[in-house]
Amino acid sequence: MRNDKLFGLGVALVTPFKDDNTIDYSALSKLLAHIIEGGVDYIVVSGTTGEPPTMSATEKAELRSFIVKEVNNKVPLVLGLGGNSTESVVNEIKNTDLSGFDSILSISPYYNKPNQRGIYAHFAEIAKNCPLPVIAYNVPGRTSRNIDSQTIVKLANDFKNIVAVKEASGNMMQVLEIMKNKPEDFMVISGDDALTLPMMSVGVSGVISVAANVVPKQMKKMLSLAFDGKFAEASDIHYKLLDLMNALFEDGSPAGAKAALNFLGFCKENLRLPLVAVCDQTREKIKTALNKALTA
């Protein structure tokens, strides 16, 4: 049976910071209200967009607890848990309080560049040790290794709790191969805002979106129209959002999203090093694109 909690519009949540670099929980509360009121179907906590590599274990635990209480079961929650040491990821899964979360999102190992057999073995260990459904995250632009379509399909067939892949390879042929060969109930989720509508035309289950931090209502409207088969109307919204989608990543993510959220009054642009705020030129592009997107 398809995991309906992962169907539709997911948001890769940013983590607001104060000027002193601590987590800005007041801003986070306002942001959560904004995206829930905007119609998101689920929220991804501590994904790449949330800057978890810069957080201590204590901060991560406090952040999880706050979000679980603040969201209060209004929408499902997904927790980012991944890394490039399989043993460390498994230990983190075993030692993390997963109450309040509906599944985990786990990135393919980065930096040490495993081959496809190693990637398969990594996710196999996660599947065997995770009490929640698992979304495998393929983003070769960050990891330097693609998860081949054959590897994804094999994982989907061999482990029933690997329920979806977040596909951010940018390779539409790979998306088509997964869609053609996957088990019926396995979900393919777009990991690229700008390619979401084209991917939906071949049957993907939605998107885990960075832009939905900023324009959740508009993203939700686009997806709803596409799910209803109204692709001409969905395309109108897509093209009004496209400049913003691209601008958000021009100077690094989540720097772009935080610049846009700052324009809207939800949080400051503060990031933790090595990430820095967008340059002035990009900020102006984001402002112009945001004004256009808000008319969608």
Catalytic residue numbers, as ranges: 137, 166
Listing DSSP states for the chain in one string gives ---GGGSEEEEE----B-TTSSB-HHHHHHHHHHHHHTT-SEEEESSGGG-GGGS-HHHHHHHHHHHHHHHTTSS-EEEE---S-HHHHHHHHHHS--TT-SEEEEEPP-SS---HHHHHHHHHHHHHH-SS-EEEEE-HHHHS----HHHHHHHHHH-TTEEEEEE-S--HHHHHHHHHHS-TT-EEEE--GGGHHHHHTTT--EEEESGGGT-HHHHHHHHHHHHTT-HHHHHHHHHHHHHHHHHHHHT-TTHHHHHHHHHHTS------TT--PPPHHHHHHHHHHHHHHTT-
Dihedral over Cα of 63, 64, 66, 71: its sign = positive
Q: Letter for the amino acid at 181?
A: N
Record the tokens describing residue 264, joined without a space: 């809207």
